[in-house]
Structure 1
């Protein structure tokens, strides 16, 4: 919370600092003009000269705070970034005390001190307990300093009491705005956390709707959608596309013999083997049950047959470890291919590949047709 408050304080100093500099420059210009036509030595002259010096000092301080806030805009988490807001608040209150003390030569009001107390509470986020210390320190300076120039006991007592009110009002405003700031900051954090969690859940939902839950491959709907897009791209680019279907041989026997957990392990093994055998540009999906499908972009039927044979041999040569045994796995493959001139769509290719797969099963399984 302290870091967020520091970042906001630095931002406000960058915005308000130039305004304070301009206002003090106007005061300096006004009092400089007034001094040129005033006789030296009287109280009015001392008042004008004193305010000229105070506003000059205040403007230089505001300029320094603005420069410091600009330098620290990316380092608000460090001590300099945190302390600059406190330095600016203390500087404003100190200058207000000086202005009010000088004003006592010509007027008994302490409006600048009240404005400064409220302005600090409004513009700079301060933690309540340290802020109370800051306002107490400001009043401890205000109390004796105002007595240097205000010698009427009744006015002095009134101003000192009004000074207490100004500090209390400034601190109360600071506490209220700090509580509002922390409440908003906490709500923003909760919203950001909820938004992040929602994004993660949305991505997970998208993954679940696009992928097969058991194997992590594309599910049927996603595979068909991607395949149709790929076929359109292949026709535009003038390249061949091949689809191969593979169906595990005697998969029901695996479930009946070793149970469905073993069957799930076999399916995951086949998915991993297929994904690592094909190219990164190829698409691998699970249609359901023990049936898988692979889309091979920019691949002729001869090249597709070689890849299918490679995958068939890898499956045959890598039995799945299960408990104290190893489960042998084979698959039958059916291929279908299209060229840009033929312009066959996915449904046509799938039907042809399915017929080829049926022939592979009829001819004894564990083969590519």
Structure 2
């Protein structure tokens, strides 16, 4: 597959952007890993140091090169174990959320210390066995244990390899053995960097995909809520529609029967609304409907419910309200609408409303249809008697 230089730059820029997104999450993941694996590594490191130390005391003569090499190895193993214990303790002190400097630099510091400890350990090994196994182990274990940014990984591994090469050159091993060890170390260093970068990219890709999935789910939920709202409300006035109003009224009537309270409804019809459409046009009519809906909603209590039945007809549910109180509130709504003409294109459009009221007690056990029928009859009487009134 052929990539141009521009495409490579774009890809690297995208990687840097993605890396910045996951840094905090990666820090938290590293803390969790350190809390778990550091105590285990410390246990085995200190146990190995103890066993090796006992072996030196029992089997080696003191003040010999092998004896000094042995105690140096014990010291390095002990230092590794204590460092892991310290890292585990620091990790446990960090908050589970947010980001601190310790949280950010602890994994890097631990990786640098482990690399340095392994290099010194390998140098000591050259006086006894010519082995570079500790360095190889550390290169691979760091790669799979910690989530580090590729730039940090390259810096740690390359710096470590340069120091390792210099230290190895100071050892008493033969040139051939030094070359062999350097090649082994180079292989381990390259593999460690490759594995670490690969795991980081996988982690970043997974995180970005999860974020995209969560965002898509959130958008879907928003759309579902909006769809639900649209199915329950009137698109013009944002009031509840007839279907929703009927459902809520039935629930309120059932509650009223259980609590032995009264319920009332108001049916409102804007007077001569057809004349508004014919004179000023349908956009003006829509403005009048929204204006009336706003005034009615502002006149009722927070426990009341205003809905649009259709056309120029509105309905109001009044829980725990007697018929007399309902008529007083209806008169308040009527007067407010009459006193506040609608505004359209710099013109004032006078608006009045006829209101029919009906109510029932818990003992009457009326359903919505019966209550609405009574209120609609009252509305018809209000229109018959000249409109702009409450019956």
Sort the TM-score into its range (normalised by shorter chain).
Answer: over 0.9
1:42 and 2:90 are equivalent in the alignment: no
Identify which of 177, 189, 212 aligns with 2:211: 189
Identify which of 13, 33, 41 aligns with 1:20: 41
Alignment-derived partner of residue 356 in structure 1: 378
Alignment-derived partner of residue 327 in structure 2: 305
Between stretches 345-354 and 184-193, larger displacement belongs to 184-193
Alignment-derived partner of residue 205 in structure 1: 227
| Cα deviation code 1:107-161 (max 9, x no counterpart) | 2332221111011111222222332221111112212323444423322221111
Alignment-derived partner of residue 291 in structure 1: 313
CA contact (8 A) 2:267 2:314 kept: yes
Offset, 1:81: 2.5
Aligned-pair Cα RMSD in Å: 1.7
Alignment of 1:50-65 (within 5 A): 50-65=72-87
3-state SS of 1:341 partner: helix
Alignment of 1:96-111 (within 5 A): 96-111=118-133
3-state SS of 2:362 partner: coil
C-alpha separation between the residues in 2 aligned to 1:195 and 1:150? 63
CA contact (8 A) 1:11 1:73 kept: no
3-state SS of 2:138 partner: helix
Alignment of 1:107-256 (within 5 A): 107-256=129-278
Between stretches 63-72 and 133-142, larger displacement belongs to 63-72
Give the TM-score, by structure 1 length.
0.95
Alignment-derived partner of residue 318 in structure 1: 340
1:331 and 2:337 are equivalent in the alignment: no
Structure 2 segments unaligned to the other structure (5+ residues):
1-20
1:68 and 2:90 are equivalent in the alignment: yes
Give the TM-score, by structure 2 length.
0.90
CA contact (8 A) 1:210 1:218 kept: yes
C-alpha separation between the residues in 1 aligned to 2:167 and 2:55? 25
3-state SS of 2:359 partner: strand
3-state SS of 1:46 partner: helix
Alignment-derived partner of residue 11 in structure 1: 32
C-alpha separation between the residues in 2 aligned to 1:32 and 1:45? 10
C-alpha separation between the residues in 2 aligned to 1:291 and 1:309? 17
Aligned residues: 369
3-state SS of 1:287 partner: strand
Identify which of 247, 267, 287 aligns with 1:265: 287
Alignment-derived partner of residue 7 in structure 2: none
Offset, 1:198: 1.5
CA contact (8 A) 1:286 1:292 kept: yes
CA contact (8 A) 1:10 1:76 kept: no
C-alpha separation between the residues in 2 aligned to 1:105 and 1:222? 87
3-state SS of 1:295 partner: strand
CA contact (8 A) 2:130 2:173 kept: no
C-alpha separation between the residues in 2 aligned to 1:90 and 1:166? 16
Alignment-derived partner of residue 14 in structure 2: none
C-alpha separation between the residues in 1 aligned to 2:346 and 2:57? 106
Offset, 1:28: 2.6
